[in-house]
Amino acid sequence: MDGFLVIDHVSKSFGSLRAVDKVSLTVSQGEAFSLLGPSGCGKTTLLRMIAGFERLDCGRILVGGQDITALPPEQRPVNTVFQNYALFPHLNVWENIAFGLRMSRRPREEIRSGVDRMLELVRLSEHARKRPAQLSGGQRQRVAIARALVNRPQVLLLDEPLAALDLKLRQHMLMELNAIHEQVGTTFIYVTHDQGEAMSLSDRIAVMNNGKVEQVDSPVHLYETPRSSFVASFIGDANFFTGTVVEMQHEGYVRVSVEGLGSPLVLSKGTVSANQTLRLMVRPEKISLMLKRPPSGERVNAFRGIVEDIAYFGSHTRYRIIAGEHSILAQLQRSRFSGGDIDPVRGTEVWMTFHPDEGRVVMLEGEA
């Protein structure tokens, strides 16, 4: 198996709970990789196993070709940025960052230059003599990153790095983390439950659920072509419809009969067969709204509905629309509302359309 960090059929149970269930992942050198999932999906357990804090029930973990499964945490070429930062309160910023180098008994001069270089990287040079208690949340976060990176780990693990920060600071640290990653080029493994964080931080994301990896892909692919309805609903919002295949066209287009919505044409990545029951997914922002019926055509999916609820978010507006038994979420940029000058209000009859390429078959029924 090639790859820099290799997680090979790793399992871990706590009592009867399978926290991590035969997970295999391969991360390449210098990659920014995220483990994304809801709480309890096993992502933190997996991270703690890479760091060496949890023993594996079975499987193995390799870093740069070296099997580290049996090594204690202090001997692994891996460092961690803990969720609550875990800075040593009795040491100042400088000493916190120097801790790892001191533990590996590096020469004094190397420690000094290493720590100073890190302080510069995270822009905390003037706070070197402060105690962690005197720093702001964002500054503590940067100390934690510097303290880990100064040891030149082959893999840097970051456990919910932004969870403890407020929204504004989070946006800022997001940029900062990306900049630091670019600068040091170390392999970064993020653990997060926040899809936005994962999407903007990582080259690839592993979406985890119930101890298993549902899909590993780039943020774009996860969003555009989710393989399961779990991935589709976890990454962004999604409308789901259950239907039956009534017609198969060339190039993967299938016509699916959905009760109350007619027979929309959608794109299927997998193979489907006639009369098969399956699930469709359409992202809210892929749906356009019109006040008049759109001109009908072979490749137009149009349904009529009544606006149930409107929520204005500034950059966009969300509409909840009732069509038969379906409750459909549509999201529009203010300017994209077409087919009339007036805004729809609650109770307005509207037409929804989406392009066949934007409708996806996510999971064949019974596969769940």
Partner 1 sequence: MSAESGRSRQWLLTLPSLAWLGVFFVIPCILVIVTVFRPADLQGGVGSGWTLETIHAVNDPSYLPIIWRTLWLSSVTTIVCVALALPMTFQMARVGPRMRQVLLLFVVIPFLSNFLIRIFAWKSLLHPEGPVTRLLHWLHLIPEDALLLNNVGTVLLVLIYTQLPFAILPLYAAAEKFDFGLLDAARDLGAGPWRSFAKVFVPGVRRGLISAALMVFVCSLGQYVIPQMVGGASDEMLGSKIAQRVFADRNLPHASALAAGLMLAVLVPMLIVAIWHRFGRKEGSA
**Alpha-carbon distances, residue 2 vs 64, 199, 285, 309, 346 (angstroms):** 9, 25, 39, 51, 56
| Closest separation in Å from C-beta 104 to partner 1 | 5
Nearer to partner 1, 79 or 195 (CB): 79
| Closest separation in Å from C-beta 76 to partner 1 | 8
- Return the closest-CA partner of residue 79 out of 136, 118, 41, 107: 118
Nearer to partner 1, 188 or 223 (CB): 188
| Closest separation in Å from C-beta 147 to partner 1 | 7
Nearer to partner 1, 148 or 177 (CB): 148
Amino acid occupying residue 127: H
- Separation between Cα atoms, residue 145 and residue 158, nearest integer Å: 8
- Separation between Cα atoms, residue 63 and residue 73, nearest integer Å: 13
Q: 257 in helix, strand or coil?
A: strand
DSSP state of 43: H
Nearer to partner 1, 75 or 183 (CB): 75
Tell me whether strands 253-257 and 239-248 are parallel, antiparallel or unpaired.
antiparallel
**Dihedral angle over CA of 260, 261, 265, 266, nearest 10:** -90
Nearer to partner 1, 46 or 148 (CB): 148
Binding interface with partner 1 (CB under 8 A): 51-53, 72-75, 78-80, 82, 84, 86-90, 99-100, 103-104, 131, 133-134, 147-148, 151
| Closest separation in Å from C-beta 63 to partner 1 | 14
| Closest separation in Å from C-beta 73 to partner 1 | 4
- Separation between Cα atoms, residue 155 and residue 75, nearest integer Å: 13
Nearer to partner 1, 160 or 217 (CB): 160
| Closest separation in Å from C-beta 131 to partner 1 | 6
Is residue 184 exposed (0-12), middle (13-18) or buried (19+ Cβ within 10 Å)?
A: middle
